[in-house]
Structure 1
Amino acid sequence: MSASPQSRTTSDLDLEAYNARVFSAVLKTTQAASKLASQDLTYHKRAAPDVTGAIERCSKRLLGLTNVLLKAVGGKEDLTSVDELVEKWSTIGEVNDTLFEKTDTYLDMLTNRKSELAPSTTPTQSLKRKRGKLDSAMANANIARPQLNFQTQADNYNTSPFRPLLTKKPNAMISLEESLKMEYPKDSGQPYYRNPYQYEIENAKFPKSMKKPSKPVEPMTFENTAANWIDTPEKLRTMLKSLKNETEIAVDLEHHDNRSYIGFVCLMQISTRSQDYLVDTLVLRSELEELNDVFTDPRIIKVFHGANSDIIWLQRDFGLYVVGLFDTYHAAKVLNLEGKSLGYLLDIFCSFKASKEYQLADWRIRPLPQPMLDYARSDTHYLLNIYDKLRNRLLASGADKLESVLSSSRKECKQRYERLPYDHEHGLSFGGWKMLSEKWAVTEEMMPMLKAITQWRDFMARKYDDSVNYVLPNRAIFGILKSKPVNVPGMIGIIGKNISEAVRENVDELLKIIVQNDPGVTRVDSVREIISGRVNESDTEQIVDQKPASVDTKESEEIARKRTALAEELFSAPSDVMTAKSQFWGSIFGDNQRQPAEYVQHEV
């Protein structure tokens, strides 16, 4: 909610002005980078050698700025080259995400002073974090694939309708047999099995106690609460017996989807008012259907935060369904709280600072280090207390507020997991060409190559049981589209040292796709040599360095001179001497205004 004109302070206005200035600078920087990327820089550098020097100077400057940013968040070593920057780009992206998360948290704290949310008066808690060896081990561990030990192996090529894994149906209102009938859409769409608990989700009644306000139950201190590691069928049965006596439980999952095509759940956290359970879902995968005794019992409220993906993963991996869900994300949304994340709710309601250090950790690690165990446990340990406080606020705001949250929660529970084929025609699959083409403003000439590479990547990801981004990152696809490498060294130069097994073993196929979809390659003999890896350096230059035949030597030299001058102007000249109406700058910035000068002045 924006402040009224009377309540807006000078600092508010200063902040808005600064935000507008920064946003304008970022927008222009992004636009310029995107349009520069669409130019044939390889040709420009060869036609005007001085351009190479200008780009190298700019690269060094950006590398320096990146090192300053990394040092500001605790980085120990400088990046020494652009290649190293590209290789570690995903890690640097995580740094950016962390900075944005912290910014969001601090803004929540700032604006909270003006809202109805009163921070708790209890001392702020936080998990002690152990750095160093753990982080290094997490980043470099060569972990054996746990999915190889699953009783049922994933069939990544199977795109038939997913039949629910249920072998029995506790807490049923209609029988399992009736629930597993195939549905045939009237619009001639693909047939599917409906959610076997759809009727129960829609018709089961929540406990009457939920609709009465009550005093929130304070959570036990983190240190004094039992942390139970569940990794045997006997321990699972003991936990299940205890859970059946509860009126509400908190649930969360930790998922892995980098070295797996469809992904799998590695850990399940369940908390009661007095116990925290950590269930090793890697070893108990085939046993966990037993939890339907609790998960589908409407008398026991299941509290999740942001359960959208969790509901799908539970169905896919364990045949688990949820009846009686209360999603604290939807509660925060209905109450119009200034923050919706679990971290925000933990901070506001429990004075607990949630660590994001292990949010992207590899949860396949066994045994899990203590800091990761603590991190996982904290996600559910306080959630029932948050549920108590949110439910009271919803009831105080009107009965319709609570019903809205329960309706959204039911809708989440009714989701169905389905296997999806690769959508080559429309490019709408995860990792498909549609999003990438829009993100990069891919030219019509590049589209056949983009479509072919993304389809090849999806096939390889299914074959090797890896994520599409592990097989070939999006940034690598973009580099391939721009540079069109025709040999293995060129491909390594784009992808970097961390080449996936799928690319390493099938690089000839990928090179063949590039050659077949590059209009500039017309020599069939050379194409064959390139694919087989027998092309020599001069032949490669003959193909890659083709220049327009219509440009004579004098005209080429004049073009080179102008491009060199414009490159120097972009990277070196003061803003007050930038060319105002240059055709080159107009093509980059989209109009004939003095935007280049503004861009330099506001560069961030």
Structure 2
Amino acid sequence: MPLQPASPEIITTVDGVRRLADRLGSEPIVACDLEADSMHHYQEKVCLIQFAVPGYAAIVDPLAAPDISPLAPLFANAAIRKVFHGADYDIRSLHRDFGIEVNNLFDTMIACQLLGEREFGLAAQLRKRFGVELDKQYQRADWSRRPLTVGMIEYAVKDTTLLIELYRQLVAELEEKGRRGWVEEECELLSRVRVAERGDEPFFLRFKGASRMDGRTLAVLEELLLFRDGRARQFDVPPFKVLGTDTVRELAERRPRLPEELQGITGLTDKVAARYGEGILRAVERGCAVPAQQLPAYPREERRKMERGEEDRLKRLKEWRTEEAGRLGIEPGYIANNALLELVAVKAPRTMGDLEALPPMRCWQRSEFGEQILSIVSPRR
């Protein structure tokens, strides 16, 4: 195991951020991570950004030094490899809060998945490969809290100090299996993800199970979600800390109109009912008052029924995927998801050029499995 720094440098000034950017600017590989406060505040934000290279670790506090623009060229520099584990949230958050784009990304979680690791979380990998334990109590910590405790700092620095060594081990294993290109392409695509803007879309569109609700239930649900969001914003807490998902769903379905009808609702304790009961009943009342002709409807895409030949091709493709996944020792969905297989079954490509015309298909999927796929969907080509 490589020698690790005794303690990280805590950076709380813009000058410190500049010095850090200069120090890391000549490194070929930099391990990165961040911590946010999504479990504790209405508007989540990045609260720490961690970096590590052999023999040195640093933690940037953007709450103390809000101008972290000197780090943008470091993240954008395609000559420096940035190693994250589970980078999706981090990439979105860095761009949302600071406009930072990350080039030359390597996500060790994706590498673990495409190597067939059954436990691909960072804690599991650090335990398995280095015998290092991460204290789970800090996974849901309020990272906006100041001052940081010793335990929080130790947890934050452990997230990065072994990432480069983990990266090197995984790259060697990927090279041995001929899968490094798979991960490189997935990481390049991942580096482009961004936070989706809600705009003026109804809240119920992002509520699990809403697609199965009728118009009246959706109307009540929307009013309840608007009420919940308003209270969450008022008290600066995540919406689920006002009313949980199961509670909102049951309220929308049962539509209580009187205080006594709130009793027995999942998660609606006496304390919660006392605090929010009146607002809940008014929200239900508003939803029930929506005229029938104005009731919302969950948008549905008309899905064309597959023809017999298409269904047969899809069945053969899924059988092939299961067999191939077993041979490679990875989850079937990593080879190709169902949406891609359905598209292939419908389009019935006959040549590699036809496969190139299917945008969801990755280059590595086409290169690795293209001939097999073509032989399945066009056996007499």
TM (normalized to structure 1)? Answer: 0.44
Q: 1:424 aligns with which of 192, 202, 221?
A: 202
Q: Does 1:403 align with 2:181?
A: yes
Q: 2:119 aligns with which of 339, 345, 352?
A: 339
Q: Give 2:246's aligned residue.
A: 475
Secondary structure of 2:90's aligned partner: helix
Please show how residues 298-377 of structure 1 align to structure 2 within 5 Å. Answer: 298-377=78-157
Secondary structure of 2:223's aligned partner: helix
Distance 1:397 1:232, change over 3 A: same
Kindly indicate whether the alpha-carbon contact (under 8 Å) linking 2:75 and 2:101 is maintained by their aligned counterparts in 1. yes
Q: Give 2:2's aligned residue.
A: 219
| Stretches of structure 2 lacking an aligned partner (at least 5 in a row) | 290-381
Task: Map Cα deviations across residues 467-516 of structure 1 (whole Å, 9 max, x no partner).
Answer: 2212322233245344725249958996336659xx94x76443222235
Q: 1:486 aligns with which of 258, 261, 267?
A: 258
Kindly indicate whether the alpha-carbon contact (under 8 Å) linking 2:32 and 2:82 is maintained by their aligned counterparts in 1. yes
Q: What is the alpha-carbon distance in structure 2 between the residues aligned to residue 510 and residue 276 of structure 1?
A: 49
Q: Which deviates further from its counterpart, 487-496 or 305-314?
A: 487-496
Q: Does 1:272 align with 2:53?
A: yes
Identical columns (%): 26
Distance 1:409 1:492, change over 3 A: same
Distance 1:372 1:266, change over 3 A: same
Q: Give 2:331's aligned residue.
A: none
Q: What is the alpha-carbon distance in structure 1 between the residues aligned to residue 164 and residue 16 of structure 2?
A: 23
Q: 1:256 aligns with which of 17, 26, 37?
A: 37
Kindly indicate whether the alpha-carbon contact (under 8 Å) linking 2:96 and 2:194 is maintained by their aligned counterparts in 1. no
Kindly indicate whether the alpha-carbon contact (under 8 Å) linking 1:488 and 1:507 is maintained by their aligned counterparts in 2. no
Shift of 1:379: 0.7
Q: 1:514 aligns with which of 284, 291, 294?
A: 284
Q: Give 1:450's aligned residue.
A: 221
Q: Which has the higher contact order (CA 8 A, sep 6+)?
A: 1
Q: What is the alpha-carbon distance in structure 2 between the residues aligned to residue 310 and residue 512 of structure 1?
A: 38
Shift of 1:448: 3.4
Please show how residues 11-22 of structure 1 align to structure 2 within 5 Å. Answer: none
Secondary structure of 2:137's aligned partner: coil
Shift of 1:355: 2.3
Please show how residues 433-444 of structure 1 align to structure 2 within 5 Å. Answer: 435-437=208-210
Task: Map Cα deviations across residues 1-56 of structure 1 (whole Å, 9 max, x no partner).
Answer: xxxxxxxxxxxxxxxxxxxxxxxxxxxxxxxxxxxxxxxxxxxxxxxxxxxxxxxx
Shift of 1:423: 3.0
| Stretches of structure 1 lacking an aligned partner (at least 5 in a row) | 1-217, 520-604
Distance 1:240 1:491, change over 3 A: farther
Task: Map Cα deviations across residues 318-360 of structure 1 (whole Å, 9 max, x no partner).
Answer: 1211111111011112212222111222122222222212111
Kindly indicate whether the alpha-carbon contact (under 8 Å) linking 1:449 and 1:513 is maintained by their aligned counterparts in 2. yes
Shift of 1:456: 3.1
TM (normalized to structure 2)? Answer: 0.67
Shift of 1:374: 0.6
Q: What is the alpha-carbon distance in structure 2 between the residues aligned to residue 375 and residue 226 of structure 1?
A: 11
For these two proteins, the number of residue pairs brought into alignment is 287
Distance 1:277 1:413, change over 3 A: same
Q: What is the alpha-carbon distance in structure 1 between the residues aligned to residue 55 and residue 270 of structure 2?
A: 48
Distance 1:294 1:497, change over 3 A: farther
Q: 1:495 aligns with which of 268, 293, 307?
A: 268
Task: Map Cα deviations across residues 174-227 of structure 1 (whole Å, 9 max, x no partner).
Answer: xxxxxxxxxxxxxxxxxxxxxxxxxxxxxxxxxxxxxxxxxxxx3214xx5331
Kindly indicate whether the alpha-carbon contact (under 8 Å) linking 2:92 and 2:193 is maintained by their aligned counterparts in 1. yes
Q: Give 1:234's aligned residue.
A: 15
Structure 2: which amino acid aligns with 1:235? G
Distance 1:449 1:267, change over 3 A: same
Q: What is the alpha-carbon distance in structure 2 between the residues aligned to residue 483 and residue 418 of structure 1?
A: 31
Structure 1: which amino acid aligns with 2:161? H
Task: Map Cα deviations across residues 528-568 of structure 1 (whole Å, 9 max, x no partner).
Answer: xxxxxxxxxxxxxxxxxxxxxxxxxxxxxxxxxxxxxxxxx
Please show how residues 66-81 of structure 1 align to structure 2 within 5 Å. Answer: none
Kindly indicate whether the alpha-carbon contact (under 8 Å) linking 2:49 and 2:61 is maintained by their aligned counterparts in 1. yes
Please show how residues 196-211 of structure 1 align to structure 2 within 5 Å. Answer: none
**Coordinate RMSD, CA, aligned:** 3.0
Structure 1: which amino acid aligns with 2:26? N
Shift of 1:409: 0.6
Shift of 1:459: 4.5
Query: Of the two, which has the highest radius of gyration?
Result: 1
Shift of 1:447: 4.2
